[in-house]
Amino acid sequence: MQKTVRGKDVATGAALEVAFSDSITAVAGAAGGAEELYLAPGWIDVQVNGYAGVDYNSARTSHEEIARSIEVLFATGVTRFYPTVITGAPDEMRGALENLARAKDSLTHGGAMDGFHVEGPHISPEDGPRGAHLRRWVRRPDLEEFRRWQDAARGNIRLVTLAPEWPEAPAYIEALVAQGVVISVGHTGADTRQLADAVSAGATMSTHLGNGSHSVMRRHPNYLWEQLAEDRLTASFIVDGIHLPNSFLKSAVRAKGVARSVLVTDASAPAGAKPGRYALGEQEVDLTSDNRVVLAGQDKLAGSALSMDRAVGNAVRFAEITLSDAVTMATTNAARVGGVAGRQNGLALGDRADFVLFRWERGVVGVRATYVGGECVYRA
């Protein structure tokens, strides 16, 4: 059935009317008075470890709990996301991917899990770049292991984060890119040549640039400068005011340009939940009263409690960019670099009917309605 939605264009402020079924069938200027709510493509988050108290890194997480977490994500304006499985025991990673694949196929709104992101285990074993990932499960790239993952995931793995300093990395990257998988550089201590080899092999993204790195590194060259200067890499950023200082964020976005910048939350189970203790795979994490997610009893960050509606508002304030640019970083840029089909053109004919209607008041995004595939899945 043909439906319409009206709102204010984020880029121009003009009133828009979008006609749609499960995809967009027409976009035109809307007659009448000014629209109260902004209308934008729905947010896309290609890095979500868990949400609303639900951990995506366990094969034992129930589908009912996954379904509940998706509903909470809809309330933040997210319409498509990549549940993210991090470094763990081989059987645990495979089990988590299989569980997510079954949930994707069986849940009413499972299609919002547009693909899966595997972050690790082929990362740096060093303290700093390894982040909160468990050292004992860090291991070298292995195509046979990837095939086991992809089989368990029913072909849904779209994004893999790895450190390119492994000798096997270039061949591994080439093989996965040939299968349509996006490769992102992250949790790395790679040198200039290793990064260049990864990009030449087909890596196109940097995972949460500025995090998962040494606390102290040489002035130059170093892997942050190299990734910032590499125009073939699009960088994702966690804009929660905790993971990155504003000075780095502003400098990084100016270096990459808005066109090569993406917002991610890197949310883990405590996001969208109350302070307390939660699971992240086989580890426990705490959500503190000041909204940091840390390894239990430690001060080491382990994902975030960020939501994408807050990330958009934060990006405007912290990076000093326009609302239109922040929305682009949370929508079409994420779709393009992450390989999300049918979402790379925005409010355009033929793209999927994924929308968010929101208020923009005093630098804060207030989501009022979310549509996924033409269905209104949340209304405030």
d(CA 191, CA 185): 12
- pLDDT reported for residue 159: 98
Q: Strand 78-86 relative to strand 157-162: parallel, antiparallel, unpaired?
A: unpaired
d(CA 10, CA 40): 7
**What's the pLDDT at 32?**
75
Q: What is the pLDDT of residues 182-206, one digit of tens each?
A: 999 999 999 999 999 999 999 999 9
Q: Region 245-266: what's the mean pLDDT?
A: 98
Domain spans, the chain:
42-344
Q: What is the CATH number of domain 42-344?
A: 3.20.20.140
C-alpha angle 83/309/104, rounded to 5°?
25
Letter string b/e over residues 276-298, b meaning 16 or more CB atoms within 10 A of that residue's CB:
eebbbbebebbbeeebbbbbeee
pLDDT at 270: 97
**Tell me, what's the pLDDT at 1?**
77
- Tens of pLDDT, residues 228-242: 999 999 999 999 999
**Which residues contact residue 228 at a Cβ distance below 8 angstroms, ignoring those fewer than 6 apart?**
209, 235, 252, 255, 256
pLDDT band at residue 31 under the 50/70/90 scheme: confident
pLDDT band of 41, cuts 50, 70, 90: very high
Share of the chain above pLDDT 70, in %: 100
Predicted local confidence at residue 269, as pLDDT: 98
Nearest Cα to 122, choosing from 194, 70, 15, 66? Answer: 194
Name the pLDDT band for 114 (thresholds 50, 70, 90).
very high
CA distances from 47 to 3, 56, 136, 230 (A): 31, 11, 23, 22
Catalytic residues: 266
pLDDT in tens, 148-194: 999 999 999 999 999 999 999 999 999 999 999 999 999 999 999 99
